[in-house]
């Protein structure tokens, strides 16, 4: 049985078509990521699944319950960590967890044991009785995640769990979430615009762009579908389109997509192809600034399926 099913969800906010027919399914016990740039529709999808907003059309279930017609049952089955923190900064970590447990109906020794368990799981034991305003950003985010788990939900939603954290705190959170997925045996759906985060944490993922799911699968499976190596070539201004035309005509080049000054190509072997690419570009009067090669990444998967560079689109979404 799937823990989450999503079928043709649509949602508009005025003239903005936030969701344009999103569909996917999440199996019980897996970590599933919605990966996409800012503004792709990930958070809107999660808000529908946790019953904070209603879709204009389409259907979805969580833990076997319809998110529109059985909203109360959905809420009893889930934990939810939004982008904005829900912790009380003037209370201690222990007090935050205890209050959340009482809201969820826990009392007495059961509540105390669960609070102690979560403080230990997230490395907050020594800081348990300090006020949260003195916690670091990473500690506050770990407490946010712990709050969502007090009542042992069946399905756990994490909306951009590491946004705003520094690289060290982000890596530590990835370790915490990895242990959580292994130890708690619950279904986790997380949204992220960090390619490495989805690659590292997700059993499966769906790439979302402009309110649609463009491809779905395992991180390794999606990368394996792209034959050969990725080659990125930086050329002088205004020549990206012309460079793509030159490179795409070469033998063993599967794809050549211009993106501003960058040309991204997929080839059988990067080490073998680069001399021919450089020679062809220079022979056509196109100066090369830099060239790199690597095995396919989720960035390449996004580029292949959308024709757009992930990081450029992510920055545009922020703006």
Q: pLDDT digits over 130-171, tens only? A: 999 999 999 999 999 999 999 999 999 999 999 888 888 888
Residue 183, helix vs strand vs coil: helix
Distance CA 58, CA 23 (A): 9
Same domain, 246 and 218: no
Provide the 3-class DSSP secondary structure of residue 264.
Answer: strand
Q: What's the whole-model pTM score?
A: 0.87
What CATH code is carried by the domain that includes residue 235? 3.30.70.940
Q: Indicate whether 29 belongs to any domain.
A: yes
The answer to whether residue 306 is domain-embedded is no
CATH of the domain at 154: 3.40.50.300
Question: φ and ψ at 153, to 5 degrees?
Answer: -70, 160
Domain-located, residue 305: no
Read off the pLDDT of each residue in 108-137 and give the average, rounded to a whole number.
95
Q: Which domain holds residue 241?
A: 227-295
Judge if 248 and 170 occupy the same domain.
no
User: Do 71 and 197 have their domain in common?
Assistant: yes
- 265 located within any domain: yes
193 and 265 both lie in a single domain: no
Q: How far apart are CA 116 and CA 93, in angstroms?
A: 11
Q: How far apart are CA 29 and CA 17, in angstroms?
A: 31
Q: CA–CA separation, 68 vs 50, rounded Å?
A: 10
Q: How many domains does the chain have?
A: 2
The answer on 177 and 218 residing in a single domain is yes
- 46 and 189 in a single domain? The answer is yes
User: How would residue 259 be classed by pLDDT, with cut points 50, 70 and 90?
Assistant: confident
Evaluate if residue 202 carries a pLDDT over 90.
Answer: yes
**319 pLDDT above the threshold of 70:** no
pLDDT, residue 1, reads: 78
* 8-state DSSP, 296: -
Reported confidence tier of residue 17, pLDDT bands at 50, 70, 90: very high
- Residue ending a domain, among 222, 251, 269, is 222
Q: Which pLDDT belongs to residue 292?
A: 95
Assigned domain for 116 exists = yes
Tell me, yes or no, whether 53 and 16 share the same domain.
yes
């Amino acid at each position: 049985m799937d823990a989450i099913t999503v079928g043709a969800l649509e949602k508009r906010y005025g003239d903005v078509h936030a969701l344009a027919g999103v569909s996917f399914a999440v199996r019980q016990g897996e970590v599933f990521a919605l990966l996409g740039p800012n503004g792709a529709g990930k958070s809107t999808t999660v808000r529908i699944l946790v019953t904070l907003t209603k879709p204009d059309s389409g259907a979805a279930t969580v833990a076997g319950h319809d998110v529109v017609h059985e909203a109360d049952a959905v809420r009893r089955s889930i934990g939810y960590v939004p982008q904005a923190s829900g912790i009380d900064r003037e209370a201690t970590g222990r007090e935050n967890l205890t209050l959340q447990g009482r809201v969820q109906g826990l009392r007495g020794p059961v509540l105390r044991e669960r609070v102690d368990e979560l403080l230990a799981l997230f490395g907050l034991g020594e800081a348990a009785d300090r006020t949260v305003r003195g916690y670091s950003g990473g500690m506050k985010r770990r407490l946010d995640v712990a709050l969502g788990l007090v009542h042992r939900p069946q399905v756990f939603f994490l909306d951009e769990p590491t946004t705003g954290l520094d690289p060290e705190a982000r890596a530590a959170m990835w370790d915490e979430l990895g242990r959580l997925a292994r130890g708690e045996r619950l279904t986790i759906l997380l949204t992220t615009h960090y390619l490495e985060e989805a690659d590292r944490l997700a059993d499966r993922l769906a790439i979302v762009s402009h309110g649609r799911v463009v491809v779905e699968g395992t991180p390794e499976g999606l990368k394996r579908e792209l034959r050969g190596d990725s080659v990125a070539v930086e050329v002088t201004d205004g020549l990206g389109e012309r460079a793509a035309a030159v490179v795409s005509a070469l033998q063993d080049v599967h794809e050549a997509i211009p993106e501003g000054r960058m040309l991204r190509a997929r080839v059988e072997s990067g080490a073998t192809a680069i001399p021919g690419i450089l020679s062809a570009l220079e022979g056509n009067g196109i100066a090369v600034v830099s060239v790199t090669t690597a095995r396919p990444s989720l960035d390449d998967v996004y580029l292949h399926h959308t024709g757009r560079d992930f990081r450029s689109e992510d920055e545009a979404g922020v703006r």
